[in-house]
Amino acid sequence: MHSKFFSNLVASQNFPFYVTGALFLILFGIGSVMFDSFFSLQVFLNLFIDNAPLIIVTVGITFTILSGFGGIDLSVGAVVSLSCMTLAVLMRDTSISPYVCMAIVLLIGIVVGLVNGLLITYFRLQPFIVTLGTMFLCRGFTAILSRDSVPISNDAYSELAFYSFEFGEYFLSLGSVIALSMVVIATLILRYTSFGRGVYAIGGNEQSARLMGLKTDSIRVRVYIISGFCAALGGICYSWIMLSGYTLHGLGMEMDAIASSVIGGTQLMGGVGFMPGTLLGVMIQGTILTIISFQGTLSAWWTKIVVGLLLCLFIVMQALVNSHKNKLMNQIAEGSVKADKK
């Protein structure tokens, strides 16, 4: 009885999510035991505040991974950098209102996503190569706008950056609230809209999705547009933290986002993934960073090594879970054959 419960748990759809959640609790628990002031609501909330851009970017990249066909968006880090730089340069050289600047930046993100999506669907090119190209393109454009760091010194914009939602002694920044609402919206879209179900469908099996009458190309283009939009929005949140534009902003962010997504239970083959899991994936990385900064003597490279180890753990776990599921499926199939014979 016990083993059957365990077997069903492993085979359940949300098993990776439970593991990620448990791991997050363990990591946070380790931090709380090790350091006196670690266990507080504000340390927890800081995870959202510090990682708001990464959360938003990860939401976008998860859409592309879910859509299958080797789906991935490597351009997100570069789009973050381009967004910061565009904001900084626009506010320095023109007197356009910051809100219009932000709209322009979001539009840039959408255009980059549209270009990615069209190249991938129309010419049937590999997402990896296409988004690698647009990644180089966006990094290059950022440097063309300015090679030096450009500070953002617009008063109205700084006010937005420092805007915080206070409740009692605790607070959340505007960026973190946007990030959390993006996770909620994305979860709802994936769960309850036909578009969201379509994303899972083309990720699971594109052929059968097409035979079912889904417009696979249109769904895929929209997925990349969402990713571009999220990257630009992430860029805006990043600029609220940095208050500057620089060519090296968001360097390697795409890999952090992919790692978070995988730790959160998304399978890179597409079709399997749970959005709140990716939020936990980002928070696990954030917790490791927080523990290291509380410890004080450990160096930052330990983050990379620990994240690598966690990735390894999750990937091997996914492989084992998948083989277990296959075994269970075979058992069920055999069982039905036996039942037929009777």
Partner 1 sequence: MENLVKKFTSSSLALPLVALVILLLFNAFFVNDFFKIEVMDNGNLYGRPIDILYRASSLIILALGMTFVIATGGIDISVGAVVAISSATCCVMLGGDISGVPHHPFFIAIIASLCVGVLAGIWNGTLVAKFKIQAMVATLILMTAGRGIAQLMTDGQIITVYYKPFAYIGGNIPGIALPTAMIIALLMICLVLFLDKKTSIGLMIQSVGINANAARYAGIKVTAVLFAVYIFSGFCAGTAGLIEGSLIRAADANNAGLNMEMDAILAVTLGGTLMVGGRYYIGGTIIGAITIQTLTTTMYAIGVSSDRLPAVKAVVILMIIVFQSEKFKEMYRNYKLKHQNNGGSKEASNA
Binding site for partner 1 (CB under 8 A): 70, 72, 119, 122-126, 128-130, 132-137, 139-141, 143-144, 147, 247, 255, 258-259, 262, 268-269, 299, 301-305, 307-309, 311-312, 315-316, 318-319
CB 291 within 8 Å of CB 30: yes
CA distance 270 to 132: 19
Cβ nearer to partner 1, comparing 175 with 228: 228
Cβ nearer to partner 1, comparing 148 with 159: 148
C-alpha 338: how far from chain center: 45
Cβ nearer to partner 1, comparing 44 with 217: 217
Q: How far is the first Cα of the chain from the last one, in angstroms, to the nearest whole number?
A: 25
Structure tokens at 251: 């360097």
Of 244, 276, 261, 287, nearest in space to 50 by CA: 287
Alpha helices in 67-171 (DSSP H): 76-93, 98-122, 127-145, 155-162
Task: Quote the least distance from Cβ 167 to partner 1, whole Å.
Answer: 36
Cβ nearer to partner 1, comparing 72 with 283: 72
Task: Quote the least distance from Cβ 118 to partner 1, whole Å.
Answer: 11
Task: Quote the least distance from Cβ 15 to partner 1, whole Å.
Answer: 17
| Backbone φ and ψ of 244, nearest 5° | -160, 165
CA distance 152 to 164: 19
Task: Quote the least distance from Cβ 66 to partner 1, whole Å.
Answer: 15
- Residue 179 parent element (H or E): helix 174-192
Task: Quote the least distance from Cβ 121 to partner 1, whole Å.
Answer: 10
Cβ nearer to partner 1, comparing 313 with 333: 313
